[in-house]
Structure 1
């Protein structure tokens, strides 16, 4: 998928655990892991807002686009 989730990067910068972030955001650690590992198909803006508030960052610090090699070959 061309959208890459960089929550790990922000967690490391903030020296915060997945469990602590999940508590601050109000989601389960399992759901946060799905998002963190790039397996989520969607993210609610309210969740993105809560992540940005908890990590003191911008949405662009958490999400980025990369070209999909399969699409480029088509």
Structure 2
């Protein structure tokens, strides 16, 4: 559901950017939102990306032989 909303916003602001005289402002917003969407697809899934700055805590939760 969340990804559908992101894609809808990207498409909406893309059409706004092409229809507006101030297209550079809207194009910048589209680029920003598309980078957030790409980062969301790549890194924000809980099973794919775990950030823990303390190595021992990270190793305990990830490494089965710890």
Q: What's the TM-score once normalised by structure 2's chain length?
A: 0.28
Q: Which has the higher contact order (CA 8 A, sep 6+)?
A: 1
Name the larger-Rg structure: 2
Please state which structure has a larger fraction of its residues in helix: 2
Structure with greater strand percent: 1
